[in-house]
Amino acid sequence: MSGSVLITGAQRVDGVDRPLLVSGDRIGGDLDGADRIDATELHLAPGIVDLGAFAVDLQACLFGGITRVALMPDGNPPLDGPGLIQRAAIAAKPHLWVHPLAAATQRLEGTALAEIGLMKGAGARAVATGRRWIADSGLMQSVLAYSAALDLTVVTHAEDDGLVAGAVATAGEAATRLGLPAAPSCAEAIAIARDIALAEVTGARLHLRQVTTGAGFDLVRRAKDRGLAVTCGITPAHLLLSDTAIGDFRTFAHLSPPLRDERDRHAALDALADGTVDVLHSGHDPRGPEDKRLPFADSAPGMAAAGHLLALGLGLVRDGHVGMARLFDLLARNPARLLGIDAGHLGDGGPADLILFDPDAPWQISSDRMPSQAGNTPFDGLPVQGRVRRVMKGGRWLS
């Protein structure tokens, strides 16, 4: 291959009707001598930026068209120091960009502020509270204030610990029928309201990693209407599944936050359509049989989801919930913007992180054959459409 590549024939997700030129590791450049690739019948898009995965899963990411992973700090040990941030950032080179999120508190225990400034200097792209909410409001105010001074977004988990401690499901008919420990869905709105109030006081950028209830989305809408720098994300699971999916004690549907009822699921689809939702992410959290082949209440929450994030997103396009350009704003442009990265777009000068995909190619999600560290997906057996054919990272084809 020469120093430049011209991709022709593909339908660009940004709606621009012209070939795309790549020179070196950037989009654009000199056309002379470029190798030509005919991508007729395929779609061309920026590589997906998965904001908030819990594991760097190379096979799953490449299968699903993810070129950048914003890694949550919930490792062992947690990412609460500059050395740990540096090691995480190079963990998947040269195949993936990894952008570690700094732990907001030491050991993610929610009791003492971590060294956020040092971690930014080591490469952290945002600050995160991890899988849990910070109950101490004074400490959370300090996290937001320091992060604002350092120009870092704070990524939060939105569930009040006092209500959800010990719970594994959303209070309602499904949890009652199964006899599962459950928490009311208002635990989310309570946490969101507190964090928005503190973000307003401190002027911080606040990203609610997952909002899953109608009451939560109402709070986000009002915050945006007031001009606050508040954004939110969601996974396809919380858009497409309700708490009925936990029937027969299906531990693959044990998630955090838990699946909600149908009313909240439809509120989530409305929030996606009206622009309240900013980010669609996988929530990728592969769990082996030692975590999932247990009684539901004893199993660990989480799902393997990176490999089918795009396919489920394309289903939302086919069902009319979003358009193709908006889907890739959710998957790539918006997450990159929140992380302060020039990525997630097809504009000249941008990084040559690209995917070519066939939006109509049929396949079936299978937990037994998933290209992932584990197969714990609540979508096991679901027929889907949309398959990545080629992935380019930094101007180099990986597949």
pLDDT tens, position by position, 135-163: 999 999 999 999 999 999 999 999 999 99
Instruction: Please report, for residues 76, 176, 233, 348, 349, the alpha-carbon distance to residue 279 in angstroms, rounded to integers and kept in the order given.
Output: 26, 32, 4, 23, 23
Q: What is the pLDDT of residue 33?
A: 86
**pLDDT per residue as tens digits for the range 224-255:** 999 999 999 999 999 999 999 999 999 999 99
**pLDDT per residue as tens digits for the range 88-129:** 999 999 999 999 999 999 999 999 999 999 999 999 999 999
Strands (E) located in 89-203: 97-103, 126-128, 154-156, 169-170, 182-183
Beta strand 279-280 pairing with 230-234: parallel
Domains and CATH numbers, the chain: 47-343+362-382 (3.20.20.140)
**Is pLDDT at 1 greater than 80 in this prediction?**
no
**Is pLDDT at 187 greater than 80 in this prediction?**
yes
Backbone angles phi, psi at 91, to 5 degrees: -60, -30
The single residue listed with the structure tokens 């299968």 is 63
Backbone angles phi, psi at 366, to 5 degrees: -135, 120
